[in-house]
Amino acid sequence: MSNNVVVCLFASSGYDAVAQGVAGAGRSLAGRLGGALNAVIVGAADEAMVSAVASVADTVALLGQPELADYQPELYLAALQQVCRQLDPAAVLLGSDSVSLELTARLAARLGGSPMSDGTALSVADGAIRVTRSVYGGKAEAVFELKKSPAVVWLRARGFAPAPETGGSAAVDRVSVELPNEPSIRIVERHEEEHEGISLEDARFVVGGGRGIGGVEAFDQLRKLAEVMTAAVGASRAACDEGWAPSSAQIGQTGKKIAPELYLAIAISGAAQHVLGISDAKTVCAINNDPDAQIFRHCHFGLVEDYRNVVPLLIERLRVLTT
């Protein structure tokens, strides 16, 4: 079995926190296997991204053909399949972005490997790759040993430290691959939600609102709090289902999994699915007027109070401290 590791990165996202976590996990796994870290960038990457990746990887393959400028699943799969077969890796790692979630299992099938989702840790035992992931809605962890090579895993990448720089710069190989003329699946329409402020994936601080907020207008106050905190605004699934926050703001098992330094949960009950999405947060604080709310079992600091009596005071105090 090869001991090399491939990390798949996408130009459209840049070398963001997710990509940095994937590269960090790849470097750590390559060290355990005694192999090299190979980075594959798909799409028209800018020089800053290529340079950043080249400073942490041993090799860089850039798939920048015009056909790959916009995401099309069949074209991306064909490109990654060809490059991965050439590199013959023990593991192929992807991030927790929507593209990776769609491609991981299909890429594993094409490579004859073992797929795994939502990895929170990687290890090696007797030459076999093991993946740790949450189970039972985040109430427990399970370790899976992947029998078929390569292991193709999408990671909860924000939970991994970025890869250290190697002290040099890897050569960048601009690779051309054969792509199908008529892919069986093609995206014909896209809808992109407008996004303001800091993204959930990159935020050091996140303010989350739940069903207890009471309505869409209340999220305006959360945004004011987030502004003075330099934080991103997230929401529980219940709040998103009500239409009070966009689906892109959803945090949880079926939403985004975040790893900020501070997560402030406001009027969020703390369902297991939501807690799974914040399990990598360094510090969790909660404000809820229900003393029996589940969130208090998972937070470091909690306040039993109506958030409307607290948030305006927080905004006022933080404005004083930051001016």
Task: Find residue 229's DSSP bridge partners.
Answer: none
pLDDT at 194: 60
pLDDT at 151: 96
Under 8 Å between Cβ of 155 and 129: no
* CATH code, domain carrying 93: 3.40.50.620
Give the residue numbers spanning the domain of 238: 205-321
Q: Same structural domain for residues 22 and 159?
A: yes
Q: Which residues contact 226 (CB under 8 A, 6 or more apart)?
A: 197, 205, 207, 232, 233
pLDDT in tens, 219-258: 999 999 999 999 999 999 999 999 999 988 999 988 888 8
- Write down which residue in 174, 197, 217 finishes a domain: 174
Q: Does residue 94 carry a pLDDT above 60?
A: yes
Q: Same structural domain for residues 165 and 38?
A: yes
* Half-sphere exposure at residue 94, Cβ-oriented, CA atoms within 13 angstroms: 27
- CA-CA distance, 86 to 101, in Å (whole number)? 23
Residue 180 maps to a domain:
no
Give the angle subtended at the CA of 56 by the CAs of 54 and 59, to the nearest 5°. Answer: 50
Q: Same structural domain for residues 157 and 12?
A: yes
Q: Same structural domain for residues 217 and 162?
A: no
Task: Tell me the average pLDDT across 94-111.
Answer: 93
Q: In angstroms, what is the C-alpha Rg of the chain? A: 21
Residue 240 maps to a domain:
yes
Give me the number of domains the chain comprises: 2
Task: Tell me the average pLDDT across 156-177.
Answer: 89
pLDDT at 157: 75
- CA-CA distance, 225 to 103, in Å (whole number)? 37
pLDDT at 270: 92
pLDDT at 156: 86
Residue 194 maps to a domain:
no
Q: Does residue 195 carry a pLDDT above 60?
A: no
- CA-CA distance, 228 to 314, in Å (whole number)? 9
DSSP state of 256: B
